[in-house]
Structure 1
Amino acid sequence: MSLTYQPFAAVPEVSALGEELKHNVNDKERYGSIAAGAGILVGSLFGHGLGRLLMMAAAGALVYRGVTGHCHVYERLGVSTRQPESVTDTPQLPDAVPSAESTKVAA
């Protein structure tokens, strides 16, 4: 028997906050990662063999880190350089959430 209760599923601010929490790299690092990845990628065009492949892999990882704002190494170390956004107002909850949307029961 599986129960799923999602009282805030209809609140868009909660979804936006969840996406924001996935980012653990600040904007300056993101831009730097993209620039470094692009530079390494250009340098790899002139390489040969295994060195070239390693440079391409490193470039891809840096560009991924910059584009997504998420670093897997930071995640494993529990590090985040992202500054939290300042919260100026409280999310407004809907007046009533129908029980069909908030509670799901599967047998």
Structure 2
Amino acid sequence: MATITQHINGRSLPNQHNINLKWPERYISVITGVKVGLSGLKHMFSSPFTSILKIGTGGYLLNRGITGHCELYEQVGKTDTEPVKVAIRASVLVGKPRTEVYDFWRKLDNLPLFMSHLKSVEVLDNLSSRWSLKLPTDIASLSWDAEITYDDPGEVIAWESLPGSNIHTTGKVRFVDTPEPDTTLVHVTITYEPPVGVLGAWIAHLVNPLFQKMVQDDVENFKRYMDMSEIISEISE
């Protein structure tokens, strides 16, 4: 496939598809690159080794800002300026009436009972909650506050992390009746937008291929959990 370039005053610019930095980050890279590079030139004779490192770093940052392309970002899967997102969709049939399934899910602190990627969900009030996410292999955890943004009893629950959270996430669960009596189709959509920067892009690159299966497994766990609760209820009677 031919490479498309743009030309301004006879100089070619990089393919727009290669730009993976937004302008605020590009400005910071240029300013920082100039400062670091000048510092290296200033101390070239007194600290030559350190100065060479500074000049190299300054040149990299300057090029990063001017071209809008970060090689580190590209290596972890960020190839454009769109926010890095991890998006998961999963569905499952649960052998329970729709209102019962909704009621169980609406009590958000029930979610870690079957969602292995959640460390905890602490209910703060009727709308607010504090979530803690386990990353794969338990290398770290992320926490944030969220609130329910839409609640149609028995039909839909939607939530979103609050402004200022170190991770932006949204979620929606729809509960749908099926032709089979007392059986509910549960549709789950969850998105995570990690912190900006290389670390955030790396987190998304790490968890994206794993999270789809993880959440699908969690939704299947939900089905098993609800079925098991019915068996336990029958035994206790």
The runs of 5 or more residues in structure 2 that have no matched partner are: 6-13, 84-237
Work out whether 1:43 is the aligned partner of 2:42.
no
Match of 2:59 in 1: 60
Distance in 1 of aligned mates of 2:60 and 2:69? 11
More strand by share: 2
Per-residue CA deviation, residues 33-73 of structure 1 (Å, 9 max, x unaligned), is 00000111121123221100000000000000001000111
Instruction: For residue 19 of structure 1, report the CA deviation from its aligned partner.
Output: 2.1
**What amino acid is the match of 2:75?**
R
Match of 2:148 in 1: none
Work out whether 1:73 is the aligned partner of 2:72.
yes
For the 8 Å contact 2:18–2:79, the answer to whether it is kept is no
For the 8 Å contact 2:40–2:54, the answer to whether it is kept is yes
For the 8 Å contact 2:26–2:68, the answer to whether it is kept is yes
> Based on CA coordinates, which of the two structures has the bigger radius of gyration?
2
Per-residue CA deviation, residues 11-47 of structure 1 (Å, 9 max, x unaligned), is xxxx47x922110111111010000001111211232
Q: Report how many residues are paired.
A: 72
Cα distance change on mapping 1:23 and 1:81 into 2, 3 Å: closer
Match of 2:219 in 1: none
SS in 2 for 1:45: helix
Match of 1:33 in 2: 29
For the 8 Å contact 2:20–2:80, the answer to whether it is kept is yes
Alpha-carbon RMSD across the aligned residues, in angstroms, is 2.6
SS in 1 for 2:35: helix
Distance in 1 of aligned mates of 2:32 and 2:79? 20
Distance in 1 of aligned mates of 2:49 and 2:30? 23
Higher relative contact order (Cα pairs below 8 Å, separated by 6+ residues): 1
SS in 1 for 2:58: helix
For the 8 Å contact 2:22–2:68, the answer to whether it is kept is yes
- Structure 1 residue ranges, 4+ long, deviating more than 3 angstroms after superposition: none
Distance in 2 of aligned mates of 1:42 and 1:71? 21
SS in 1 for 2:15: helix
Instruction: For residue 82 of structure 1, report the CA deviation from its aligned partner.
Output: 1.2
Distance in 1 of aligned mates of 2:28 and 2:79? 16
Distance in 2 of aligned mates of 1:25 and 1:35? 15
